[in-house]
Homo-oligomer: A and B are copies of this chain.
Amino acid sequence: MQSFNPPVRTLMGPGPSDIHPRVLAAMARPTIGHLDPEFIGMMDEIKELLKYAFQTENELTMPVSAPGSAGMETCFVNLVEPGDKVIVGINGVFGMRMKENIERFGGEAIVVADDWGTAVTPAKVEEACKNNPDAKIVAFVHAETSTGARSDAQAICKIAQDNGCLTIVDAVTSLGGIELKVDDWGIDAIYSGTQKCLSCVPGISPISFSEKALDVVRNRKTKVPSWFLDLNLVIGYWGGGAKRAYHHTAPVNALYALHESLVMLKEEGLENTWARHAEMHEMFKAGLQEMGMEFVVPEDQRLPELNSVWIPQGFDDAEIRGKLLSEYNLEIGAGLGDFAGKVWRIGLMGDSARKEKVLFCLAALKAVLNK
């Protein structure tokens, strides 16, 4: 067997997005120890940069050493105890995954259902809160990666707070792509991924916990049913202070990459990044409309960074995506779950949200669809 030399693709699916050469170069720097003082200094910088990205002062803001699904699990496994009632908005695959999490940790999921391709309806969440005054948590997905719908995180968190609930927010596809303000909006626990709008390699999940959420973790009646994700332990390594206790071996080089992508985010400025994603979406939308293609999500609930479009009649899903990949080295995403075979998901995230890529993607689509 030989070394693997991947083809050079343009990644415009639901993630991973294209990685900037600076981030790839950072990955390849020499590995040092996970307790090396130089490494610990870099960890502190990552925490500061993540606070900026999340717009929070939360002391517990750090990257989980595993992909976004593990970030989700970190939130639920630490905050949900057997018997806890959790109101969960479901409008796509990742809301469903939240429900799986709640139930696996012994919680009771109160489902607030919305159609795929639409946002979570705040009024329905409010009704669920009123009907379940003993609910402990409200959980929902800010940017539903399976559909491209954007929910009003600020409104839903306000409702949760007014009803005495903690909030768990999935920001896997929103962090760095659209406005997100953890402190202003009163989010208690949030997780994201590195391979979407941060344009870093996949495998790491940034999280942030408010003091209130952390108090709940500290005062659990039962032990967290995970050793690897128990924040009471992880804090000993990622928490403040000069003395870091070994918990697990951090993914050193992946964290170099995350550091570099966050430095680049800071250089561009969060508001500029959000504006770039919005601008690229407008450019893409104009091109799609010229081709007569239609969005799945109503305009006012649409994510700029993840565009779900109906597959035009007469075209075969796999065949077209196959052609784009083999003839154009262009990856776009298939539909998930109910949308499989019906929808394409086209991501304009991070370093893929650039004019040259948007225009290329439009041109390639035009060519394979003979538009």
Contact = CB atoms under 8 A, between A and B. Distances in A.
A207 B22 CA distance: 32
Nearest to A248: B69
A8 interface: yes
Contacts of A11: 31-33
Most buried by B among A11, A32, A34: A32
A194 to B, nearest CB: 9
A19 B224 CA distance: 34
Interface string A167-207: 00000000000000000000000000101000001110000
Contact of A26 (B3, B37, B101, B252): B3
Contact of A45 (B1, B45, B97): B1
A201 B266 contact: no
Interface stretch (A129-137, A225-233, A298-306, A308-316): A225-233
Nearest to A203: B251
A74 B259 CA distance: 28
A246 interface: yes
A250 interface: yes
B5 A29 contact: yes
A7 interface: yes
A66 interface: yes
A249 B97 CA distance: 14
A33 B12 CA distance: 10
A70 B105 CA distance: 17
B32 A7 contact: yes
Contacts of A248: 67-70
The DSSP consensus for interface residues of chain A is loop
A122 interface: no
A65 B203 contact: yes
B69 A227 contact: yes
Interface of A: 1-9, 11, 13, 15-16, 18-19, 22, 24-34, 36-39, 42, 45, 48-49, 65-70, 72-73, 77, 97, 100-101, 103-105, 193, 195, 201-203, 223-228, 246-254, 256-257, 259-260, 263, 266, 325, 331, 336
Closest 8 pairs between A and B when the two form their complex, measured CB to CB = A203-B251, A28-B28, A66-B66, A69-B248, A202-B249, A201-B253, A24-B28, A19-B31
21 contacts: A3-B22, A3-B260, A11-B31, A25-B28, A27-B253, A31-B202, A34-B202, A37-B325, A66-B66, A67-B251, A69-B227, A73-B226, A73-B227, A101-B227, A193-B249, A201-B253, A201-B254, A202-B253, A225-B225, A226-B226, A253-B257
